[in-house]
Amino acid sequence: MSTFSDRPNRALIVIDVQNGVVGDAWNRAAVLANINTLVDQARAISVPVIWVQHSEEEMPIGSDNWQIVSELSPLESESLIRKEYGSSFEATNLDQVLADLKVGQLIICGAQTNNCVRHTSHAALEKGYDITLVRDAHTTSDVNWGEYQIKADQVVSEQNLAFLNYALPGRKATGKLTSEVF
Give the pLDDT of residue 163. Answer: 85
User: 81-139, pLDDT tens digit by residue?
Assistant: 999 999 999 999 999 999 999 999 999 999 999 999 999 999 999 999 999 999 999 99
Amino acid (one-letter) located at 53: Q
DSSP 3-state assignment of 41? helix
pLDDT over threshold 80, residue 1: no
Q: Taking the CA atoms of 157, 86, 38 and 59 in sequence, report the sign of the dihedral they define.
A: negative
Phi and psi (nearest 5°) for 128?
115, 0
- Which CATH superfamily does the domain covering 9-181 fall into? Isochorismatase-like (3.40.50.850)
Reported as a pLDDT band with limits 50, 70 and 90, residue 80 is: very high
pLDDT of residue 79: 98
Q: How many Cα neighbours within 13 Å face the side chain of 32?
A: 19
- What is the pLDDT at residue 71? 98
Looking at every residue in the chain, the average pLDDT score rounds to 96
For the chain, the structural domain boundaries read 9-181
pLDDT given for residue 83 in this prediction: 98
Q: What is the pLDDT of residue 148?
A: 83
Query: Exposed, middle or buried: residue 151 (CB in 10 Å: 0-12, 13-18, 19+)?
Result: middle
Q: Is residue 67 predicted with pLDDT exceeding 90?
A: yes
Helix, strand, coil in percent for the chain, rounding step 5? 30, 30, 40
